[in-house]
Structure 1
Amino acid sequence: MTSLNMVTKLKGTVVLMKKNALNYKVIGGNTVVENEGDTVRPTLLDTSVGFKLISASKADATGKGKVGKETFMDGFVTSIPNLGDIQNAFSIHFEWDPNHMGIPGAFYVKNFTQDEIFLVSLTLEDVESHETTNFICNSWIYNAEKYQTERIFFANKAYLPSQAPQPLVYYIKEELKTLRGDGTGERKVWDRIYDYDVYNDLGQPDESPCLYRPVLGGSAALPYPRRGRTGRKRLEKYPETESRSGYFYIPRDELIIPQKSSDFVVNTLKLISQHETPQLRSLVRLQNDQPEFNSFDEVLSLFAGEHPDFPTPLVIREDRTAWMTDEEFAREIIAGVNPNVIKKVEDTTTINKKHLEPYMQDGVNVEQTIKALRLYVVDYQDAILPYLRKINATGAKAYASTTLLSLQDDGTLKPISIELHVPHPDGDGIVTTSYTPATEGVDASIWRLAKAYAVVNDACYHQLISHWLHTHASVEPFIIATNRHLSVVHPIHKLLLPHYRNTMNINANARDVLIKAGGIIESTYLFGSYSMELSSDVYKDWVFPDQALPNDLIKRGVAVKDPKFPHGVRLLIEDYPYATDGLEIWAAIKSWVEEYVNFYYKLDAAVADDSELQAFWKELVEVGHGDLKDATWWFKMKTRAELIETCTTLIWMASALHAAVNFGQYPYGGYIVNRPTKSRRFMPEKGTPEYDELAQDFEKAYLRTITPLMETRVNMSVMEQLSSHVSDEQYIGHRIEGDLWTYDSEPVEAFKKFGKKLAEIEQKLIERNNDESLRNRNGPVKMPYTVLYPSSEPGLTFRGIPNSVSI
């Protein structure tokens, strides 16, 4: 029999957010309670928040871990360092008999106040052999009456399902059941349910029929990755469309604690969409007198003066005209904001040899160039041509472009032809016009316009496909499936968690502001109301294994497998900044993931027998990316190699790939003449007033062709925000929990090694940018390729890889 003397007071520390950290509103209609004061209310020290420990080693008669007596916090702890000025620590003492109750492995928490609190952590001292037990929580806790099941948290120990302590199994399964929900009802702000839905909330046909948008996802015609379900009501007249009334629900813990900087970004996007920023209000007055830019100097004036409207984009910081060179145009294809589209030319049957041969290296012919692996293409004909008839009927004047480039002996690329395609006006067929480089007279102006039309294609494809579809949209189903089937104690959940931070939140805000009908993307980019439909068409050919960088490079023909080269890949364009830097980051991620996976899975059979992992993968394939579920390229998820490749690819997509296609938006595109997003005129023909204008005043004609003044200002404002790092960003190689994210020392040490490797890579990339023989690293604009440096300071830095798609 246990003696009463064996009942001890188990000491602990609870960390909560200060009340002043909760003073904010969530954009996208999601209003969270605002609180006043700068300290936690004294009532939290009596019976306002209750805690009950749960045993991981002693079970009751039903097999569930024993639950201890409810306990409340004692008082403030002032001796704990490094909490910052937005957290408070409280002491707590649990009545706990270790002989009878065993070792705590989880706890219940109840909030009896009317306001939500943010629970950071619970730490227990002297639990077993005088060790400390940590519970990293980072979760919003609402009043207990809001929940149908009690809020539970688990110690930072990772278990495969077959290895979980039996007394905790019931609690682990019940928590997953809670997170899955029952698929019914409209979600409330305090809910924590992860579920799937199609993109049926982009349109607002109840406001205007012109704001109707088709449902993306759930059909072969318009497939799409799934987004988080909100459960809002459908429109009566348009039952396939979800109402946009109320707030854009996301599971509560996906809404991170914002510091003023991160909250400011989303607020600014909301204001921009409503034309409420001071810059745009002043612009409305300006438009009465000046509806257009008339010269490049007028565009440059946006960056002039003691208090400029916008910061100077890096692409013109050192040289204001170098962007116009053919070398820079070509360099940005492999070192710009959309560096993963260029392909090797495999078929010469459609190439106009007569036009090309005068521009080939040393007069060699097309066949010789192909054989030497020196001819490359950026081709948007298949993706864009089907939409041109509809787009050009809206007032736009656009082409689908094919840009051919030749690799030179000095490692640079040279554009040798741009083909502009439009549908034949009489019906079937295509009208194609070829343009070749020129340096003098009106021919030079026409060549510059041809490059502009090609860049408009690239800018639109980048924003809708390379950026939105291939990172934001494609990652969200993984987040939902992970939380529905991988418990918080599962090692793969712990591995992937940092790479999901804020993604569902920023995606919900994108649906509310950026990609909605009539939103910023539709108003400032060429495709207008067809923008998201285009991304659905491209998703039909999405292949998850090809999102892995080495596979992508090989598939595009810009690299070949070669075990003699680092990372097993030989680049055919040796000085390819995105690829060379990206392969370094990819290899570091994969090495870290291999160590981690192999620590927990000693044999392939452990992967196949992991019930949670198998449920996660089955639902991810059949539901999350269910429109492509019949594809044969999906991994079977039966081996460690498949799990390692999956996790590496997902982490790459969420971190480095997103960084590469996001944080260069303003540095390259902030100067609209370098990266226009619209075209409003066709190429002028001889004998027309437009041709005469082009001959007389190239800058004015160019500016009348590309994105107009108003849309330029809006687009610049958005890109500036999206290209900036917030002060509370979490970068690759770092975790918000420090070393406390798992008890297992080997993974902790492997993660530290990963961080050190990333720091070494950053130094290597700096050295590459200082190598003057690598002409594509800086280019004519003298703009070093720094976007894949792992670290960054806050702000518009053109560097830094966040862990996740967080902006």
Structure 2
Amino acid sequence: MIYTVTVATGHQWFAGTDDYIFLTLVGSEGNSERTLLDKPLYDDFERGAVDSYAMTVSNDLGEILLVKIEKRKYWVHDDWYCKYITIKTPQGEYREFPCYRWIADDKEVELRDGKARLPRDDQTQIAKQHRRRELEQRQKFYRWKEWHPGFPLSIDANSHKDLPRDIQFDTEKGVDFVLNYSKAMENLYLNRFMYMFQTSWTDFADFEQIFVRISNTISDYVMQHWQEDFMFGYQFLNGCNPVVFEKCNKLPDNFPVTTEMVDTSLERNLTLEEEIKEGNIYLADYKILDGVPANATDPCTMQYLTAPICLLYNNLRKKLVPIAIQLKQEPGPENPIFLPTDAKYDWLLAKIWVRSSDFHVHQTVTHLLRTHLISEVFGIAMYRQLAAVHPLFKLLLPHVRYTIAINTKAREQLICECGLFDKANGTGGGGHVRLVQRTMEDLTFQSLCFPEAIKMRGVESKESLPYYHYRDDSQMVWDAVLGFATEVVNIYYDDDEAVQTDTELQAFVKDVFVYGLKANKSSGFPKSVKTIRKLIEYVTVIIFTTSCQHAAVNFGQYDWCSWIPNAPSTMRRPPPTEKEVVDLEYIIESLPDRGRSCWHLGAVWALSQFQDNELFLGSYPDEHFIEQPVKEAMENFQKNLQGISNRIAERNKDKKLPYYYASPDRIPNSVAM
């Protein structure tokens, strides 16, 4: 009996191997001999190669249940990336066995065929035992660890090289923060300023020395208009942190703004209270920063944080503009409310303080916690609890690609004690840790459900806020993801009972709740999923968070934060306690010095880059699914996403401020940067 075995090796760097590869076919009627795959006079398993072999077996093996791969050292340890194996039986039937993983050291790997199966679908002892062994093995390698008290649990690995080979980057150099920052400093001609590390700039124009060489359309526009109120307000809608403002239904007790203060800013001949009732007033409150310690790692430079409250007005042109700013949470004589009618530099510095506070909340809460760390929780739980043949594993795997690796690298170099984060950020030295801890206390599952999050903030009305492109574009993507998740889930789950009896799914959801959310019941994260509808929502949250939400808050960092005065990463003078004391020199002395400006610019540039081999939303080159209905669902998903991209491109034509961060052709599948 002749079985034809075809083996495909990946195209990644160093994917090929010179090691010995042995294969055993495990069938329902028996097993083949352990066979060395070797073609004399040929180099087997070269990068990108597809090699075929004839295996002679004395008896019909029946249905091929498993393919067992063994790699044995030839000369030195040589990792191998196997894409897939196909088997042609003596009867001419083809069976596909997806692999798409690294086989490292002297390892043995057992592959199931490509058909997705729920636990209940496995009827043979061989299949059940394989499933159990696979998960037991994974749980040994994917262990939870508390990196810092109050954080979601993360992977138990101290460095990138400690991770399981399957989730490491193909080349670690591409995600080495120290190396990337050094390259950024060199490429952006910033090193020439480092010898003046702690010296101040002379005026706003002086910042152009590190800006003009790398400017682009949006950052140029920001540089030219950053002092204007309309630009300040626009960033709440479509900047890199478009999730912090909300409709104001009642002024906070600690923010005593009166109609008399803001009357000249109101355009509808209404009192402030009437404007609030009409839904024209919005609020950005940074109270989460209150009491967070400022960076004190540099004894030569004092750094400061504050927790401002900003009142925004939706004017007759449907544009948000600031009308009142209080720089600290507790009102009083030494905490004045700054207004557009104040002296030019008083009002400008108040807005700068809000922008700096927004930068800190964006970096640590919106970006780090709510996309990176939460996505890692989903990824670890997936590897621990879902077998490779589970349809949800196949569906979610592309959306956690490299996430655990990038987060491990960040903990190793970026947000650790004395890491790169401490060099330029006012929340370095531990403030960023406090921010994550505080946010975790209030983080909810509902806030990750995009439509619900928008409604909770009261910003769902397109009539009131017609230029809120983040909301509108992200809603289109959410709907497309929801439709895709619905199609795939309905292929494998016939009814709610199928969901309830899926032991792996329930273990996955429980792992997320217990370890990711520390079993915090008030978070609203489910500890089990009981209906198809809730499962679809859960899957949609994962895919949306790891793709669209991350893209929307990550890839605009250089556009909006490269002009330093618009997004200061730290402030070197405390917020003013009275009016009419601020001049240009006061502001320049408050802004980051030359060295910290350079570090900041290098950081936002590096963090805004795509990976070299980025895979964008809806792109699934690794064929984990072999079923035609799923492939059709993928095609529908891709068509929907392309339609969204086209609509966004059409809207952006000739726009001075195009918004494209939630365009599917710019949304990576996963959090990998």
TM-score by length of 1: 0.77
Looking at structure 2, the residues matched to 687 and 409 of structure 1 have their Cα atoms a distance apart, in angstroms, of 29
Measured after TM superposition, the shift of residue 142 of structure 1 is 2.4
Work out whether residues 422 and 430 of structure 1, in 8 Å CA contact, stay in contact via their aligned partners in 2.
Answer: no
1:330 aligns with 2:248: no
Measured after TM superposition, the shift of residue 358 of structure 1 is 2.6
Question: 2:196: which partner in 1?
Answer: 287
Give runs of aligned pairs for residues 69-218 of structure 1, distance below 5 A.
69-75=33-39, 86-96=47-57, 99-113=60-74, 114-127=76-89, 130-144=92-106, 150-166=108-124, 167-181=126-140, 193-199=141-147, 215-216=148-149
Q: Which amino acid aligns with 1:372?
A: E
Measured after TM superposition, the shift of residue 297 of structure 1 is 2.7
1:749 aligns with 2:655: no
Classify the secondary structure of the residue corresponding to 2:388: coil
Measured after TM superposition, the shift of residue 377 of structure 1 is 0.6
Structure 2 unaligned spans of 5+:
none
Worse-superposed segment, 519-528 or 127-136: 127-136
Worse-superposed segment, 450-459 or 95-104: 95-104
Work out whether residues 589 and 754 of structure 1, in 8 Å CA contact, stay in contact via their aligned partners in 2.
Answer: yes
Question: 2:608: which partner in 1?
Answer: 723
1:489 aligns with 2:389: yes
Looking at structure 1, the residues matched to 415 and 323 of structure 2 have their Cα atoms a distance apart, in angstroms, of 35
> Identity rate of aligned residues, in percent?
25
Give runs of aligned pairs for residues 587-606 of structure 1, distance below 5 A.
587-606=479-498
Residue of 345, 351, 354 corresponding to 1:451: 351
Work out whether residues 82 and 99 of structure 2, in 8 Å CA contact, stay in contact via their aligned partners in 1.
Answer: yes
TM-superposition CA deviations, 1:174-194 (whole Å, max 9, x none)? 11111112xxxxxxxxxxx11
TM-superposition CA deviations, 1:204-231 (whole Å, max 9, x none)? xxxxxxxxxxx32xxxxxx22110013x
Work out whether residues 622 and 629 of structure 1, in 8 Å CA contact, stay in contact via their aligned partners in 2.
Answer: no
Measured after TM superposition, the shift of residue 131 of structure 1 is 4.2
1:788 aligns with 2:668: no
Question: 1:710: which partner in 2?
Answer: 595
TM-superposition CA deviations, 1:465-501 (whole Å, max 9, x none)? 0000001111112111111111000001111000000
Question: 2:327: which partner in 1?
Answer: 420
Structure 1 residues 583 and 247, CA gap change in structure 2 (3 angstroms): closer
Structure 1 residues 677 and 100, CA gap change in structure 2 (3 angstroms): closer
Looking at structure 1, the residues matched to 79 and 421 of structure 2 have their Cα atoms a distance apart, in angstroms, of 36
Measured after TM superposition, the shift of residue 450 of structure 1 is 0.5
Measured after TM superposition, the shift of residue 303 of structure 1 is 3.8
Work out whether residues 116 and 391 of structure 2, in 8 Å CA contact, stay in contact via their aligned partners in 1.
Answer: yes
Question: 1:525: which partner in 2?
Answer: 425
Measured after TM superposition, the shift of residue 87 of structure 1 is 1.9
TM-superposition CA deviations, 1:636-673 (whole Å, max 9, x none)? 40100111000101111100000001000011111111
Measured after TM superposition, the shift of residue 631 of structure 1 is 4.5
Worse-superposed segment, 631-640 or 596-605: 631-640
Looking at structure 1, the residues matched to 617 and 243 of structure 2 have their Cα atoms a distance apart, in angstroms, of 21
Looking at structure 1, the residues matched to 282 and 503 of structure 2 have their Cα atoms a distance apart, in angstroms, of 46
TM-score by length of 2: 0.91
Looking at structure 1, the residues matched to 193 and 209 of structure 2 have their Cα atoms a distance apart, in angstroms, of 17
Measured after TM superposition, the shift of residue 98 of structure 1 is 7.0
Classify the secondary structure of the residue corresponding to 1:652: helix
Residue of 530, 533, 553 corresponding to 1:661: 553
Question: 1:22: which partner in 2?
Answer: 14
Looking at structure 2, the residues matched to 448 and 583 of structure 1 have their Cα atoms a distance apart, in angstroms, of 34
Structure 1 residues 649 and 768, CA gap change in structure 2 (3 angstroms): same
Aligned residues: 665
TM-superposition CA deviations, 1:63-85 (whole Å, max 9, x none)? xxx4322222233999x9xx9x9
TM-superposition CA deviations, 1:444-473 (whole Å, max 9, x none)? 111111000001110000000000000111
Residue of 7, 15, 26 corresponding to 1:54: 26
Structure 1 residues 279 and 370, CA gap change in structure 2 (3 angstroms): closer
Work out whether residues 283 and 309 of structure 2, in 8 Å CA contact, stay in contact via their aligned partners in 1.
Answer: yes
Measured after TM superposition, the shift of residue 88 of structure 1 is 2.3
* Higher relative contact order (CA closer than 8 Å, sequence separation 6+): 2
Classify the secondary structure of the residue corresponding to 1:136: strand
Question: 2:337: which partner in 1?
Answer: 434
Give runs of aligned pairs for residues 383-402 of structure 1, distance below 5 A.
383-387=288-292, 395-402=302-309
Structure 1 unaligned spans of 5+:
1-6, 24-38, 60-65, 182-192, 200-214, 217-222, 231-243, 561-569, 773-777, 792-799
Residue of 160, 163, 166 corresponding to 1:253: 166
Classify the secondary structure of the residue corresponding to 1:400: coil
Measured after TM superposition, the shift of residue 619 of structure 1 is 2.0
1:13 aligns with 2:6: yes
Structure 1 residues 400 and 725, CA gap change in structure 2 (3 angstroms): same
Question: 2:441: which partner in 1?
Answer: 540
Looking at structure 2, the residues matched to 98 and 301 of structure 1 have their Cα atoms a distance apart, in angstroms, of 77
Looking at structure 1, the residues matched to 57 and 664 of structure 2 have their Cα atoms a distance apart, in angstroms, of 45
Looking at structure 2, the residues matched to 96 and 574 of structure 1 have their Cα atoms a distance apart, in angstroms, of 69
Work out whether residues 334 and 577 of structure 2, in 8 Å CA contact, stay in contact via their aligned partners in 1.
Answer: no
Question: 1:296: which partner in 2?
Answer: 204
Q: Which amino acid aligns with 1:123?
A: I
Question: 1:33: which partner in 2?
Answer: none
Worse-superposed segment, 86-95 or 473-482: 86-95
Classify the secondary structure of the residue corresponding to 1:647: helix
Work out whether residues 397 and 679 of structure 1, in 8 Å CA contact, stay in contact via their aligned partners in 2.
Answer: yes
Looking at structure 2, the residues matched to 122 and 77 of structure 1 have their Cα atoms a distance apart, in angstroms, of 23
Measured after TM superposition, the shift of residue 632 of structure 1 is 4.8
Give runs of aligned pairs for residues 221-232 of structure 1, distance below 5 A.
223-230=150-157
Structure 1 residues 379 and 98, CA gap change in structure 2 (3 angstroms): farther
Q: Which amino acid aligns with 1:171?
A: H
Classify the secondary structure of the residue corresponding to 1:717: helix
Classify the secondary structure of the residue corresponding to 2:4: strand
Measured after TM superposition, the shift of residue 728 of structure 1 is 0.5
